[in-house]
């Protein structure tokens, strides 16, 4: 299993921001309606089929408001569970539990939605040899969590940001003057992780000739992907991207590409339905 990506300091900062926007100066409903000494027991329950992600954030969220609350987990991130499954149980001060409820649910519903959609894509390409990749199309500030969720769904994390690999795209090529000049510039800087986005077969030939380390084959139909693969002839990895959905990904994978990247995993995944039911 992929390790949870946030340090304790990052978890604390995440909760700071979440509570600042939701609770701010206080939960006026709980403070005026709920007795200060009241206690609650609640279970977090799945209401549809899902792949879990984000559970490590729930305990710190509840314990921020009630450090002495007790929490028991019955599932873990990466598990595929059915409707009615009890995910966790929490017991503590009623005001704290009610004030923290929405923050805990929001993040688990969102991340589990990403993991669930990712698993659907992974299942579609099973047996083809292709690997599913995520992208940088994430909500600003939540990239580590979004990419963690795709890993829980079975995808492989691609670039975390602009800092960790060279990706030469169409606009870079336009400014540099050509594929050859763009690749040459990266090589002159000592980079050996140069990926070139190719829209045409001619660009594929140029990128291979220039010494690219991998190719991003953008918006190519399956027949064209096979032609690109024939040109590359296994010399470097090829990634397909663009126009990928659950209906098209299998035919794309069957062209023999090594990787398929899908932006909608983190950009468009719907939240799953999870409830926190209080006793």
Q: Which residues are catalytic?
A: 102, 137, 169, 197, 218
**Is the Cβ–Cβ distance between 155 and 122 less than 8 Å?**
yes
Tokens representing residue 140 in the block = 């600003």
Tokens representing residue 265 in the block = 């995993």
CA–CA separation, 276 vs 41, rounded Å? 10
Tokens representing residue 104 in the block = 């805990």
* Coil/strand/helix, residue 92: strand
CA–CA separation, 20 vs 26, rounded Å? 9
Phi, psi of 55 (to 5 degrees): -60, -35
**Residues in contact with 33: Cβ distance below 8 Å, sequence separation at least 6, in sequence order:** none
Q: How far is CA 144 from the centre of its chain?
A: 8
What single string gives the DSSP state of each residue in 211-249? Answer: T-SEEEEES--HHHHHHHHHHHTTSS-EEEESS--TTTH
* Coil/strand/helix, residue 167: strand
Beta-carbon count within 10 A of 245 CB:
12
CA–CA separation, 187 vs 82, rounded Å? 50
Pairing relationship of beta strands 86-93 and 39-46 according to DSSP bridges: antiparallel
């Amino acid at each position: 299993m992929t390790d949870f990506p946030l340090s304790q300091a990052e978890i604390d900062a995440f909760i700071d921001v979440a509570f600042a926007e939701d609770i701010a100066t206080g939960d006026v409903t709980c403070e005026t309606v709920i007795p200060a000494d009241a206690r609650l027991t609640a279970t977090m329950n799945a209401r549809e089929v899902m792949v879990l992600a984000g559970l490590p954030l729930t305990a710190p969220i509840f314990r921020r408001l009630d450090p002495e609350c007790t929490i028991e987990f019955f599932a873990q991130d990466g598990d595929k569970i059915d409707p009615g499954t009890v995910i966790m149980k929490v017991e503590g001060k009623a005001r704290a539990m009610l004030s923290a409820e929405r923050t805990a649910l929001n993040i688990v519903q969102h991340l589990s939605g990403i993991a669930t959609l990712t698993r659907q894509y992974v299942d579609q390409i099973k047996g083809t040899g292709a690997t599913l990749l995520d992208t940088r199309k994430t909500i600003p500030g939540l990239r580590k969590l979004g990419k963690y969720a795709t890993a829980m769904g079975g995808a492989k994390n691609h670039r975390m940001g602009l800092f960790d690999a060279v990706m030469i795209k169409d606009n870079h090529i336009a400014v540099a003057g050509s594929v050859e000049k763009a690749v040459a510039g990266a090589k002159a800087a000592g980079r050996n992780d140069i990926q070139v986005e190719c829209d045409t077969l001619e660009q594929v030939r140029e990128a291979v000739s220039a010494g690219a380390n991998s190719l991003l084959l953008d918006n190519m139909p399956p027949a064209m992907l096979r032609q690109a693969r024939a040109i590359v002839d296994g010399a470097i990895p090829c990634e397909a991207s663009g126009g990928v959905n659950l209906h098209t990904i299998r035919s794309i994978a069957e062209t023999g590409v090594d990787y398929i990247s899908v932006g909608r995993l983190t950009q468009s995944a719907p939240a799953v339905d999870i409830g926190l039911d209080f006793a």
